[in-house]
Structure 1
Amino acid sequence: MNQHVIRPVRADEWEKVKELRIAALRDPDAAVAFLETEEAAAGRPDAFWQARTEGASHGRMARQFIAEAPDGSWSGSVVVLVEEAGTTGIFDEDIEVHQGHLVGVFVRPEQRGSGLTEALFEAAVEWVWSLEEPALERVRLFVHEKNGRAAAFYRRFGFVTSGLDVPVPTEEGAREIEYVFPRPA
């Protein structure tokens, strides 16, 4: 039985946020999962990590959920960014609806298949649906066209392709595919 607690980060946990991000970027699948390198993340100043964690710990615009083991270690994370209609997304695409955008999805290899990713996604989606004025219409994410394992999980969770794909800025000729999870009626 999985004993992890799924919860939002707290503002003072920036060192753990940094450690987990760097661990994610060391993963063999990082090249098709993240748009950042380990070197870039490790080179960021403490003030960056403090601000990032503070911003994802409260408020409406971002929330980071973590899977915390009984010993206090973190086994995984997902970040939700709120995108407002009429703005531009991370790939310079037009945002047409109020939506949540899942990014930074990572579960340590030894915990994959344990249900932690599902638990993290459930917490993230529940938070998105809890937001009011304006309510968010859907949750979305992008997955590299070569990241079949992640795409399979997203489909099992209930995400479907939207038909939008965008170039991967760090890889000539590669595409990121948008998946969406609409708000239940």
Structure 2
Amino acid sequence: MHETARPVVRVIRSDEWREHKALRLAALKDPVAPLAYAETYETAAAQPDAFYQARTAGAAEGGTAVRQFVAEVPGTHEVWAGSATVLMEEPGETDFLGRAIERRQGQIVGVFVRPEYRGTGLVEELFEAAVAWAYDRGAERVRLYVHERNERAIRAYRRLGFAPSGVRVPKGVDDMELEFVLARA
């Protein structure tokens, strides 16, 4: 881990699109990126700055349907140790698979912690902020999807209290994404 102070988890600000882009590109270079993300590094790197500006503004303070939490390393505004984003899903809407959403829930996406910060408790802090935000907006539960072979992520999500719901979504020819849920206590 860096010799600097412990990262601080906070909500992204709308002017931080450069930092968001840098962290997203770092995430897509991770060895498990093909299992963890639908987007490739090449696709993300080719996006114009306007794409990242719009994406960051949508996830910044003040939004009601999406919120991105970042872990900023104090004293190094340009360095983020990790991130997690929550999408609020409403009954009557359809999810990214075209299935009807039956309850108000949050879906956590885009989870990434830089390798040098893994095992430090940072993912727990990011999830604590993300889950609290979803529950403060009336979510009955929080869910996420994880590739069946992404063992590191599965271990982390189980440690955080998430459990498989039994929903399995095909990803490609021979792979599956598993839905994990955290029921509201």
TM range (shorter): over 0.9
Q: Secondary structure of the equivalent of 1:48?
A: helix
**Residue identity matched to 1:66:** V
- Asked whether 1:61 is paired with 2:65, we answer yes
1:11 aligned counterpart, secondary structure? coil
Deviations 1:13-41 (A, max 9, x none): 00110110000000011011111000111
Partner of 2:170: 167
Unaligned runs of 5+ in 2: none
Provide Cα deviations, 1:106-155, integer angstroms capped at 9, x if missing partner: 00011100111000000101111111xxx211000000010111011111
| Partner of residue 15, structure 1 | 18
Classify 1:37/1:29 alpha carbon distance in 2 versus 1 (closer, same or farther; 3 Å): same
Matches of 2:97 and 2:37, distance apart in 1: 13
Identity rate of aligned residues, in percent? 53
Give the alignment's Cα RMSD to 1 decimal: 1.2
Q: What is the match of residue 106 of structure 1?
A: 112
Provide the C-alpha distance between the structure 2 equivalents of 1:81 and 1:110, rounded to a whole number of angstroms. Answer: 27
Q: State the secondary structure of the residue aligned to 1:104.
A: strand
| Corresponding position of 2:48 | 45
Consecutive unaligned residues in structure 1, runs of 5 or more: none
Q: Give the aligned residue type for 2:40.
A: T
Count the aligned residue pairs. Answer: 179
Amino acid of the residue matched to residue 159 of structure 1? Answer: F
- Aligned partner of residue 122 in structure 1, secondary structure: helix
Length-normalised TM-score, structure 1: 0.93
Partner in structure 2 of residue 96 of structure 1: 102
Relative to structure 1, the CA distance from residue 165 to residue 96 in structure 2 (aligned partners, 3 Å threshold; closer, same or farther) is same
The two structures have a TM-score, normalised by structure 2, of 0.93
